[in-house]
Chains A and B, each alone.
Chain A
């Protein structure tokens, strides 16, 4: 546990040392959220756009930082040095997981708070449900990000994969605009994409006000996906070499 925490702390210090990255993490999505606040509030369009931005930026951030962070460690040689320490692969993975999870959760919280308090979003219900959905969503995406990170060998690959995950999962998943008469492919994407599940769940919480028990399907799906990918990431680490 101490070892895991040490990995988390070093990761956070590393992140804080890079102000440009923090701008990308917080500044850009806040700007987007602000622009979205000019959309008409009726008919759920505003929610769709704002939550779409949130879900998309969280996904982008998680995939790029999981990949980039591990790549940087590999280039530094610190990755190998951690692997040769007496820390188990589970503890190592948990360290990266917690760091990325924490960072993405901060980002999501800042975006939601700024929507409401800076840009006047008319939301006043479902905070608890929202937090649960966000936690489970970020859990799933972090699992995906770390799993993919094991395969990515360059900054270019990270960009490409992040773009693919974000575009496919968000756009085709119907996060920003409802897709009329979806083809089978699109329906399949929407039914696996955690972005799609999360955005729809968040929107329902904010507009209709549903309870957690009716969100069981998305929560279980995203939770299972995160868990499997996390296990996959550790297994990949054990098989390597």
Chain B
């Protein structure tokens, strides 16, 4: 049973088509990844799903409730974790959580229990009385997650919760999300980090230019990209010549240049590698590093769009 059904969603800002006919569905209980490069339309899609923006076309059903018609009922099922912490800085962690709990319809009996419960989930029990303005960036992010969880939503929507934080806080957040599996909650996890999505998610939708270009379980998607491997060669002196010669080698699907690196999508890295090496040396290039990646979502994305996820 799908807890979220998105059909032919469209949203334009002026002439810019931020979401352009996106369709996907999220099943009850899974961690669903929405992966896409900057500007793909992920945040816009999520804003549409939680009723902050109105779609130009398409349908959004949350557990069967149409967000456009039964907004309050649909919103009741959702918790959000915005990209930037959305909290009252001069209030304590507890006061914030009490506020967000009340706003989301918890009564005073449920409130205390829920507050302590979510503080435990994000590991901030000992900072319950502390003012948010004194919290570190990572702690604010964690409390931001707690605020999204406070009313025990069926669907938690997380928009790039790990962008711009230190590795330790990042790991803490990833573990927290992973542990949400024990709470019977469905999670939509947006990111442009392939590793995070691969680590956390059961199913993934890949978004580009406002459209979902692929959707499936992690293994299905990896399977789709599995005929290909990604060969990364770091060069000291990159030239267009090298790239275009390598592009013509038999078995090379696509090539991309990224910084000083040449990325080659190929079905047979072992065979290509010596030929590529030869081409580079023959063109006066100097190789400083070579990597062969097993197929991952990054290589699938490259294959589908001809672009890198991050640049």
Contact = CB atoms under 8 A, between A and B. Distances in A.
Nearest to A18: B90
Interface in B55-87: 72-73, 75-76, 78, 80, 82, 84-87
B247 interface: no
Given A10-B99, A85-B104, A241-B54, A17 B80 contact: no
Interface stretch (A1-9, A129-137, A143-151): A1-9
Which of the listed residues B50, B86, B102, B103 has the most CB atoms from chain A within 10 Å of its own CB? B103
Nearest to B84: A77
Interface in A79-115: 80-88
Interface residues of B, number: 30
Contacts of A6: 99, 102-103
Nearest to A91: B103
A25 to B, nearest CB: 17
Contact of B75 (A78, A84, A241): A84
A68 to B, nearest CB: 15
Given A84-B51, A86-B105, A77 B72 contact: no
A85 B51 CA distance: 10
Contacts of A81: 80, 82, 86, 100, 147
Interface of A: 2-3, 6-7, 10, 13-14, 17, 76-78, 80-88, 240-241
A118 B187 CA distance: 61
Contacts of B147: 81
B52 A80 contact: yes
Contact of A84 (B52, B73, B88): B52
Contacts of B78: 84
Contact of A3 (B75, B82, B89, B103): B103
A77 B99 contact: no
A129 to B, nearest CB: 38
Interface of B, helix, strand, loop or mixed by DSSP:
loop
B53 interface: yes
A3 B111 CA distance: 13
A75 to B, nearest CB: 10
B85 A86 contact: no
Which of A14, A86, A240 has the largest count of B CB atoms less than 10 A from its CB?
Answer: A86
From DSSP, what is the main secondary structure of chain A's interface residues? helix
Nearest to A87: B103
B91 interface: yes
A10 B100 CA distance: 11
A76 B80 contact: no
Q: Which 7 A-B pairs have the closest CB atoms?
A: A77-B86, A86-B76, A241-B53, A6-B102, A241-B54, A81-B86, A17-B90
Interface string B92-112: 000100011011110100000
Contacts of A87: 103-104
A7 B87 CA distance: 13
A10 B91 contact: yes
B63 to A, nearest CB: 13
A78 B76 CA distance: 17
Given A17-B90, A76-B86, A80-B86, A86 B52 contact: no
A237 to B, nearest CB: 11
A87 B75 CA distance: 9
Nearest to B51: A84
Contacts of A88: 72
Contact of B90 (A13, A84, A86): A13
A84 B50 CA distance: 6
B105 A3 contact: yes
Contacts of B89: 76
A80 to B, nearest CB: 6
B86 A78 contact: yes
A103 to B, nearest CB: 17
Nearest to A11: B88
A240 to B, nearest CB: 8
18 contacts: A3-B102, A3-B105, A10-B91, A13-B90, A13-B95, A14-B90, A76-B86, A77-B82, A77-B86, A78-B88, A80-B86, A81-B86, A81-B147, A83-B52, A84-B80, A86-B72, A86-B105, A241-B54
